[in-house]
Amino acid sequence: MAERRVTVGWPEGLHARPAAIFVRAVTSSGVPVTVARPDGEPVNAASMLSVLGLGVEGGQEIVLASAAEDADTALDRLAKLVSEGLDELPGAV
């Protein structure tokens, strides 16, 4: 399983708009991804309610993971999106 630990770069954390950006990026990656607090249970990263339910604040660490064969590239891009607090997935067309 591929995994990335990343610090959330959005000041407001994974709430409202940033959570929507993140969920949209996960969905468009085409790779099944989970997200969790470092010692928490992973949730479906493509589920807005699940992501919001984590209550992650800006500056906190999260763990992105996937067992898909092509997960490394997707996780790298998602980690960049989250850590830099971007408005869209890097490399999006």
> Quick check: 27 and 54 in contact, CB under 8 A?
no
Query: What is the reported pLDDT for 93?
Result: 40
CA 65, distance to chain mean position in Å, is 9
pTM exceeds 0.75 = yes
Is-catalytic flag, 15? yes
Residue whose structure tokens are 């971007």: 86
Q: Which of 3, 9, 12, 15 is catalytic?
A: 15
| C-alpha–C-alpha distance, residues 92 and 2, integer Å | 22
Q: How confident is the model at residue 88 (pLDDT cuts 50, 70, 90)?
A: confident
What Rg value do the Cα atoms of the chain yield, rounded? Answer: 11
Element (H, E) at 43: strand 43-44
Domains in the chain, ordered, with CATH? 2-84 (3.30.1340.10)
Query: Across the strands, what pairs with 44?
Result: 34
